Amino acid sequence: MTALRSGVSRTTLALPLLLFGVLALAAPNFLAPQNLANVVGQITALLIVSLGQLLVALVAGIDLSVGSVMSLAGCLVATQPDPLWGMVLALLLGLAVGIANGLGVAVAGIHPLIMTLATATFLQGLAYLVLPIPGGEVAPALRSLADGSLWGVPQPLLWCALCAALVYGLLHRSRLGLHLFAVGAQARSAQLNGVRVVGVTVAAYVGCSLLAVVAGVYLAARVASGDPTMGASFGLESVTAVALGGVQLTGGVGSILGVLTGALSLGLITNGINLFGISPFLRGALTGALLLAAVCSQRRKVVGL
Amino acid sequence: MQPSARTMPDTVGHVTTQDNRPDLVVLESVSKRFGSTAALQDVSLRGCAGSIHAITGENGAGKSTLMKLLAGVHQPDAGQIRVAGQVLRLRSPAAARAAGISTVFQELTVLPNLTVAENLLLGREPSRAGLLDRAAMRAEAQAVLARIGIGLDPQRPGGSLTVGEQQLVEIAKGVSTDAQVFIFDEPTAPLNRAEVDKLEQLLHTLKAQGKLVFYISHRLDEIFRLCDTVTVLKDGRWVATEPIAALTHDRLIALMVGRPLQALFPPRAGTPPGAPALDVRNLTPLAGAASARLQLRRGEIVGMGGLEGQGQREIVRALAGALRPAACDIQRHGRDGQPQAYDPRLGVAQAVRQGIGLVPEDRKQEGLYLDLPIADNLWLGVLRGLGLVRQAPRQRAVVSGMAEQLQLRASSLAQEVGELSGGNQQKVMIGRWLAAGVDTLLVEQPTRGVDVGAKAEIYSLLRAFVAQGGAVLALSSDLPELIGLCDRILVVRGGRVVGDVPAASATEEGLLALALVDAPAAAAEVPGVMAEVAA
Amino acid sequence: MSAELTGNGMLAAPPWRRLLRGALALPPAYAGMLVLLALAALLRPQLLSAMLLPLIARQAAPLGLAVIGQSLVMRARSIDLSSGGVIVAVSYLLTSGYFQVSDAVAMGLCVVLGLVVGVVNGVLIVQARASSMIVTLAVSMILTGIVVALSQFRAPGDAPEFLRELARLRVWGMPLPVLVWLGALLPAALLLKRTVYGRSLAAVGSNPQAAALSGLPHLRVVFIGHVASALISVLCGFILVGFVGKGSITLGQDLALNSLAAAILGGVNFGNGRGGMAGPAVAAFMLTFLFNFLTSLGLGEPGRLMLQGAIIAAAALAYSLNRR
């Protein structure tokens, strides 16, 4: 039933497999356990944030503010000595941003790109206010959650699995999930069927921001400090991951498997850049090129924004 | 025949058959405006349980709007809605559902990325402990489809259904709820004969169960066959509510039109038509679909009709260059009489340069520049064929002359087109092509959402256009309009032109007979249509 | 434009009514400018001095130019956020001596770069129908990434003398960049009002589907807008490099977002444009003045960013509420 709207094709699955194969053969030390653990650790944040982007893409939206939300969440937990209070603050932030984005898009009719760009800029300023330069200290309790292993499984993997399971439950086992797909396909038809389009849209943006908060807290815990520009590249990278994974940015089609393959592909490319010794500054250019390729491969009727 | 004297809006016609049964739904003095257009003015209506109540009227009479008030899609500007005695504010379709009102809309709302089962139960999915109960969903969908006798696989994706199958799903959706009030808006438009029979059985069952069914249609034979009561609307106002037993065909038409039918349509041209403006020897709009042949000659208005979704729209759009046909072989004779090949695959700009203009059905989305003034809307037609850096000519005289010719009702030429009434907007669209100097007009639904006064003017415009050597192909789902306006009527079925009937001798029943098909729906429909619906 | 119609035509509203409606329909930039001038007169009158005002205008010139390009694409329901990348690339081309050519040739190369970027943007947006915000942001990312990587090998150097001179020059007391800005404004306004391109742009923005079905060259209109916008970014790059005096990888990074904010404040929005070219010009000056004003009051980078975001959101909200 759900293969109908997964968007996963042979090419989406082939890309990460191909990359894995190439790296395993050509790159030194790729298969070393330390390197593989690195890869997992690096893509965890991207995967979590991309799961959020998936929710929003399903309702034909986009959220460019996830990067700033990540940075701000990280700065919040790095400046709050009490880890619980830090988490609560960060989650409240995610809730507020998600509601603001969702209402702006669904009620005020502002284009999602504009709305989330505005929020992103505003929150970036706020992040600089909370923590002007990288620093701060993340409470040890949180730090221990980010690294190491639990019952033999690396913790980052557990974070990924937990978030993926939650989103899976939401999308395929709940009424809200079905409504997300419906609204993304044709909002008007969904509304005529009794689906509350505004509520569903706001829920998608709230889910996205909350997942961005989780990703930001994870990253900060991993590095044990905060950085106001930590999440800067994640906005466009999460869109790239989602688009590479067969999720239609026009709404209604997408799956967690797709997001996983997209995030994996991006992570493998980054790893490859490190292993091959290519200038890390080219990573941004490469991501940009991938984003272009991914976005051009999707069909759209509208020209422009 | 004169319409009866029941023209007082506040005395709803008390009909003898209804007096014995309780009123289930009462709409009292409801009004609704959209911008500057008054869609409904002071309409009152009563429906009782155990009745199939027809709502009829011409295009633009307000039937759909009235029912959309009951369906929760719009809210009345004035007046009250009472269901089972209680005053209700139906703020959304979900609220209407909760109030026991189930609607099958004219616009299909089947979602392409959901299965049939998911579409059927959307908005009222069965759940267990907060989670979707997929097994229950499958079972319930099977049960509903079986009960109605529709042999569809509940796991099929909505995007793979034909237009007729989608309509069946809509009907199943509507009927499978516990509602007390059912609204059907033109349900039989895309259905074949077998499917129509099925629907009629369903409706009789609902009536026997004591439900109230509102049935919007302007197919008179259906109304007389199915319904026990009919309410007539005209220009947004209530005209009459009478039991079917007390009416005849002609009396009903007279109530709907309110004036002799002849006065609406200008007389046909006496002269024989001229050279072919479009000689379509072969047109295959979609790969693998049927191919159409037709001729459109100068000096004549040719109508195109048939059930919905049979490929008429694809043919028209392909001719206009808006849909890239898979194959085509078309000849044209320009105003100068010289034959030339015409290839619509070169696009709309090329078609316009050759003198062919499309008036699209959805004028707000595809035809007009709503926030630009009337002058700009008219004048943009003149720009065709000019280079981009050329200074744009002012053409003030052309524009005001055109506005006079169109008999536009507006406060000034600077008024935004979005503020005009439907009829005036339609005139502006036609005016733009007249100003551009095209010689062939392809018109989709020439008078959708247009009031009667403007209708007559638009018909005169089209007739005057062809009298000067132009040619018009008019696609319409309004059979009386086709018969009254056109010289010839083409009936399309399955993407092919199956009938070419002189309008002077055509009848509604005859045209419908040509359009309906006895074979199962799947064989008759154009497969590629789904792509457009699903998009 | 007020040919009264016979028949049921009503007379137009009285002239004072039309004036009032006209004033209320003015873009927020005008009111904002008045309020700002008043506040500055109260709190920081030195900003209004004959010495500082031309300097602020000069600082606003690149933004003013960028807004012209942004208005063109926004009116066609598109957007161009690639100016950051283009300016960084221009700055590197001009100052790093990578190609060992004369200054004039380097500037010519920059123009070619602008053309290429504009064409790439245009083709991807018009043919592949990719989202213009994503495309232009991605192109900016690519350009910036390449420049930063190259900077590791060969650092940017000093700006060409010619440009530095131009930035300093004054004609009749007005800094040259401001004159360049005004000089570009007039043809742009004419283009919009008088040419077939301008009228087609209004149609394409108002209803792209209707434009397509009426045979207007809607794709070409969008494409040309993007090429023009990219070339204008190159011009902004020249001026900025002249200001700063040397190459920098952080040059012009906020120009894209500021041009979006200024365009919206100036009355231009996606698919329509009420302010002509004057509104966005006033808005560009207003924004620059605002940032200078707030900086003089102690506003730092965080505050500036928060304000930028708030302005964009508020302006978009106002536009969308107005449409209801």
Interchain pair A181, B112: CB under 8 A: no
* Alpha carbon separation from C294 to B326, C299, C307 (Å, rounded): 62, 5, 10
Rounded mean pLDDT of C264-281?
86
Contact C129, A301 (CB under 8 A): yes
Rounded mean pLDDT of A15-32?
88
| CA distance linking residue B9 with residue B28, whole number of Å | 10
pLDDT at position C109 is: 94
Does the residue C19 lie in any domain? no
Using a CB–CB cutoff of 8 Å, tell me whether A171 touches chain B.
Answer: no
Between positions 389 and 428 of B, the ones with CB within 8 A of C are 389-392, 396, 399-400, 403-404, 407-414
Rounded mean pLDDT of B62-81?
91
Check whether B535 has a pLDDT greater than 90.
no
Does the residue B146 lie in any domain? no
| CA distance linking residue A235 with residue A63, whole number of Å | 7
pLDDT at position C23 is: 65
Residues B230 and B305 in one domain: no
Rounded mean pLDDT of C62-68?
97
* pLDDT band at C21; cut points 50, 70, 90: low
Q: What is the pLDDT of residues B333-348, one digit of tens each?
A: 876 778 888 999 998 9
Q: What is the pLDDT of residues B84-96, one digit of tens each?
A: 888 999 998 889 9
A41 min Cα distance to partner chain B (Å): 32
Q: Which residues of B touch C224 (CB under 8 A)?
A: 388
Mean predicted lDDT score pLDDT of chain B: 84
* pLDDT band at B198; cut points 50, 70, 90: confident
Residues B471 and B326 in one domain: yes
A241 min Cα distance to partner chain B (Å): 22
Between positions 235 and 274 of A, the ones with CB within 8 A of B are 252-253
Q: What's at C36, amino acid-wise? A: L
Using a CB–CB cutoff of 8 Å, tell me whether C246 touches chain A.
Answer: no
Rounded mean pLDDT of B278-299?
89
B380 min Cα distance to partner chain C (Å): 8
Between positions 273 and 302 of A, the ones with CB within 8 A of C are 279, 281-289, 291-292, 295-296, 298-302
Between positions 53 and 92 of A, the ones with CB within 8 A of C are 62
Residue ranges of domains in chain A: 45-236
Chains that touch C (3 or more CB pairs under 8 A): A, B
Which residue, chain included where needed, has tokens 């039937």?
A: B63
Q: What's at B150, amino acid-wise? A: I
pLDDT at position B259 is: 64
Identify the closest residue of chain A to B122 by CA–CA distance: A193
Q: What is the ipTM of this complex?
A: 0.89
Check whether B229 has a pLDDT greater than 90.
yes
pLDDT at position C8 is: 36
Check whether B292 has a pLDDT greater than 50.
yes
Interchain pair B380, C7: CB under 8 A: no
Interchain pair A193, B131: CB under 8 A: no
Identify the closest residue of chain B to A186 by CA–CA distance: B111
pLDDT at position B340 is: 86
Residues B342 and B408 in one domain: yes
Chains that touch B (3 or more CB pairs under 8 A): A, C
Contact A200, A180 (CB under 8 A): yes
Strands annotated E in B306-389: 327-333, 339-342, 356-359
Using a CB–CB cutoff of 8 Å, tell me whether C6 touches chain B.
Answer: yes
Highest mean pLDDT among B277-281, B420-424, B506-510, C83-87: C83-87
Rounded mean pLDDT of B27-56?
89
Of B18-27, B327-336, B500-509, C314-323, the least confident: B18-27
Interchain pair B535, A252: CB under 8 A: no
Using a CB–CB cutoff of 8 Å, tell me whether A5 touches chain B.
Answer: yes
Residues B238 and B329 in one domain: no
Does the residue B423 lie in any domain? yes
Identify the closest residue of chain C to A304 by CA–CA distance: C78
Total number of residues shown for chain B: 535
The answer, as to whether pTM is greater than 0.80, is: yes
Pairing of strands B37-48, B23-34: antiparallel
Q: Which residues of C touch A285 (CB under 8 A)?
A: 141-146, 149
Out of B384, B396, B413, closest to residue C215 by CB: B384
Interchain pair C305, A284: CB under 8 A: no
* pLDDT band at B294; cut points 50, 70, 90: very high
Rounded mean pLDDT of B262-281?
81
pLDDT at position C5 is: 40
Out of C222, C304, C313, closest to residue A304 by CB: C222
The Cα angle at residue A42 between residues A41 and A48, in degrees rounded to 5? 90
Interchain pair B376, C202: CB under 8 A: yes
Q: Which residues of C touch B371 (CB under 8 A)?
A: 206, 272
- Looking up residue C169, the CATH number of its domain turns out to be 1.10.3470
pLDDT at position A132 is: 93
Between positions 83 and 102 of B, the ones with CB within 8 A of A are 92-94, 97
Out of A5, A185, A194, closest to residue B123 by CB: A194
Interchain pair A252, B113: CB under 8 A: yes
**Alpha helix segments (H runs only) across B321-421:** 348-353, 374-379, 396-406
Interchain pair B366, C196: CB under 8 A: no
Q: What is the pLDDT of residues B347-365, one digit of tens each?
A: 898 899 888 999 999 998 8
Identify the closest residue of chain B to C195 by CA–CA distance: B391
Contact B18, B227 (CB under 8 A): no
Overall number of domains in chain B: 2
pLDDT at position C74 is: 94
Identify the closest residue of chain C to B321 by CA–CA distance: C213
* pLDDT band at B385; cut points 50, 70, 90: low
Strands annotated E in chain C: 170-171, 174-175, 268-269, 272-273
* Alpha carbon separation from B493 to A24, B476, B480 (Å, rounded): 59, 14, 19
Tell me the angle at which helices B452-467 and B396-406 cross, rounded to the nearest 10 degrees: 120
Contacts of residue C114, Cβ cutoff 8 Å, sequence gap at least 6 = C86, C90, C230, C231, C233, C234
Check whether C122 has a pLDDT greater than 60.
yes
Does the residue C305 lie in any domain? yes
Between positions 113 and 142 of A, the ones with CB within 8 A of C are 113-115, 117-129, 132
Rounded to the nearest 10°, the torsion over CA A170, A172, A174, A178 is 110
Chains that touch A (3 or more CB pairs under 8 A): B, C
C206: which 2 tokens? 């108002």
Identify the closest residue of chain B to C217 by CA–CA distance: B349
* Alpha carbon separation from A169 to A174, A259, B131 (Å, rounded): 7, 15, 9
Does the residue B131 lie in any domain? no
Rounded mean pLDDT of B102-115?
90
Interchain pair A282, C145: CB under 8 A: yes
Q: Which residues of A touch C131 (CB under 8 A)?
A: 62, 113, 249, 295, 300, 305
- Looking up residue B243, the CATH number of its domain turns out to be 3.40.50.300
Overall number of domains in chain C: 1
Does the residue B9 lie in any domain? no
Does the residue B229 lie in any domain? yes
pLDDT at position C18 is: 67
pLDDT at position B452 is: 73
Using a CB–CB cutoff of 8 Å, tell me whether C15 touches chain B.
Answer: no
Interchain pair A295, C77: CB under 8 A: no
Which residue, chain included where needed, has tokens 């009386």?
A: B480
Interchain pair C306, A115: CB under 8 A: no
Identify the closest residue of chain B to A169 by CA–CA distance: B131
Residues B314 and B186 in one domain: no
Does the residue B519 lie in any domain? yes
Total number of residues shown for chain C: 324
Out of B360, B383, B387, closest to residue C213 by CB: B360
Interchain pair A186, B109: CB under 8 A: yes
Contacts of residue B209, Cβ cutoff 8 Å, sequence gap at least 6 = B50
Q: What's at B59, amino acid-wise? A: N
Domain membership of residue B481 as a residue range = 276-534
Does the residue B161 lie in any domain? no
pLDDT at position C10 is: 41
pLDDT at position B260 is: 58
Q: Which residues of C touch B366 (CB under 8 A)?
A: 207, 209-210, 213
pLDDT at position B532 is: 35
Residues B22 and B60 in one domain: yes
Residues B242 and B356 in one domain: no
pLDDT at position C3 is: 39
pLDDT at position B518 is: 46
Rounded mean pLDDT of A54-62?
96
What is the secondary structure of C157-219 as a DSSP string? -BPPHHHHHHHH-EETTEEHHHHHHHHHHHHHHHHHHHBHHHHHHHHHHH-HHHHHHTT--HH
The Cα angle at residue C170 between residues C166 and C172, in degrees rounded to 5? 145
Residues B213 and B311 in one domain: no
Out of A173, A189, A196, closest to residue B109 by CB: A189
pLDDT at position C6 is: 37
Which residue, chain included where needed, has tokens 């959805």?
A: B362
Using a CB–CB cutoff of 8 Å, tell me whether B346 touches chain C.
Answer: no
Residues B365 and B239 in one domain: no
Q: What is the pLDDT of residues C201-238, one digit of tens each?
A: 999 999 999 999 988 889 999 999 999 999 999 999 99
Between positions 77 and 96 of C, the ones with CB within 8 A of B are none
Residue B267 in 3-state DSSP? coil
Check whether A104 has a pLDDT greater than 90.
yes
Does the residue B268 lie in any domain? no
Using a CB–CB cutoff of 8 Å, tell me whether B376 touches chain C.
Answer: yes
Rounded mean pLDDT of A207-220?
96
pLDDT at position C182 is: 94
- Listing from the earlier edge strand, what are the strands of the sheet with B356-359? B356-359, B440-444, B471-475, B301-305, B488-493, B496-502
Residues B252 and B302 in one domain: no
pLDDT at position B384 is: 64
Q: Which residues of C touch A115 (CB under 8 A)?
A: 313, 316
